[in-house]
Amino acid sequence: MRVGKYELGRTLGEGNSAKVKFATDTVSGQSYAVKIIDKTSITRLNVSFQIKREIRTLKVLKHPNIVRLHEVLASKTKIYMVLECVTGGDLFDRIVSKGKLSETEGRRMFQQLIDGISYCHNKGVFHRDLKLENVLLDAKGHIKITDFGLSALPQHYREDGLLHTTCGSPNYVAPEVLANKGYNGAESDVWSCGVILYVILTGCLPFDDTNLAVLIRKIFKGDPPIPRWISLGAKTMIKRLLDPNPITRITIDGVKTNDWFKLDYTPSNYSDDDDDDASSIQEDGSEEEKITDSPTVINAFQLIGMSSFLDLSGLFETEKVSERQIRFTSNRLAIDVLEKIKTVFMEMGFCVQKKQTMLKAIKEESTRKGHGGLTVTAEVFEIIPSLNVVELRKSYGDLSLYKQLYNRLLNELGTPSQVQKLLM
């Protein structure tokens, strides 16, 4: 099959709305990767704005560590993005197949990543979806950053000087993005770079859990476990990058002046003859894209932001009440939730001890006809101010009293739909 002067060959990758095929320029013999996008699919998935943004953004990015867009062609049904051909796969596959990198090799790749991201930021482009899968490797092992469909541009900042769209991949997203109060694109990209550095040096994610509530709790806390084999310089760099406070988190400039980073560092050489930057990109719509008749695809973090009227209990209730632990969600403020739990404990005859966001309640065994003794702990985890997760754990004691306590707390604090389920 031919598209213009390009002869298409084998399929290199495939997604929901696009295929990537190997292509050869029949005039020059140069190899390329052609991303073939089905117009019907992107309309149905309501992601046409992402494709447009990626094309417009890549047109102003010309750096050796960023995948280059050479040309865009179109037919009635397809869009063809002619991209630089990168044959080494992505960093995710590299880690999965061969494990963690040596500190020397990992630092070299991290240096290239920072070079590419620094260039983007200087151009006014903030990636917002940095992850291993979006970092490709060429035949020489050099990295190439790709997939700018979720990138933000200067015109996307609101009057408060912040971005407000919650996006990204769960394990890589910065805590301030989840907080839903606005964030700085450069600072959130730095956090994602920290996650990538952690993975390439350890072979595992710094924050990971199958339960969304636990994952988000870990992200907000920061401070991932760092193996003993990591050098002090690398350990310090990881901690500075994964600082949950964006104000004190290290900046790109700070990274570049760090002694560990500068070891054997050779800045990328490139000639950017085009003075255009992202501020020159004209887009339809604002940070909140135009509303169409198609349903909008939202992610888990956007669901959390809508928690005042959505039942998210399925994300958190992983065990039956008969087990030792149960979770439920509450839309009340964390301080009110804690106070209410303490009141319920005391009304049911428990002795209560409080430690920060955790309450320990003990009830000694009563008469033979009444309930037996029970020791439980209740802890409150704030995801955002309008959503808290209550975790109730039974150390030992009477199961029926434990169930009674849970039902009472759920009735007092749970979301309306959870309470409705309890009454059914």
Residue whose tokens read 């050098």: 231
Q: Tell me the fold of 2-84.
A: Phosphorylase Kinase; domain 1 (3.30.200)
Would the annotation count 35 as a binding residue?
yes
CATH class entry, domain 91-271+295-303: mainly alpha
**How many angstroms separate the CA atoms of 128 and 147, rounded?**
10
In this prediction, residue 255 carries a pLDDT of 97
| Structure-token pair, residue 69 | 């867009």
- Assign domain 306-423 to its CATH superfamily: Kinase associated domain 1, KA1 (3.30.310.80)
Catalytic-residue membership of 273 = no
SS3 175: helix
pLDDT at 128: 93
pLDDT at 325: 76
355 pairs with which residues across the strands? 358
Contacts of 108 (CB under 8 A, 6+ apart): 264
- Residue 24: predicted pLDDT: 95
In this prediction, the residues of the chain whose per-residue pLDDT falls under 70 are 16, 44-46, 271-323, 356, 365-372, 383-386, 415-424
Determine the Cα–Cα distance for residues 52 and 390; give it in Å rounded to an integer: 42
CA–CA separation, 257 vs 235, rounded Å?
16
Element (H, E) at 70: strand 69-74
Where do the structural domains in the chain lie, given as residue ranges?
2-84, 91-271+295-303, 306-423
- 74: nearest Cα among 101, 102, 97, 48: 48
What pLDDT is stored for residue 31 in this prediction? 94
User: Phi-psi category of 65—alpha, beta or left, where left has phi over 0 and alpha has psi -120 to 50?
Assistant: alpha
From 129, 147, 243, 398, active-site residue: 129
What are the helix (H) ranges across 317-385? Answer: 334-347
Q: Number of C-alpha atoms within 13 angstroms, CB side, residue 385?
A: 3
Which tens digit of pLDDT belongs to each residue from 218-274?
Answer: 999 888 999 999 999 999 999 999 999 999 999 999 999 999 999 999 988 776 665
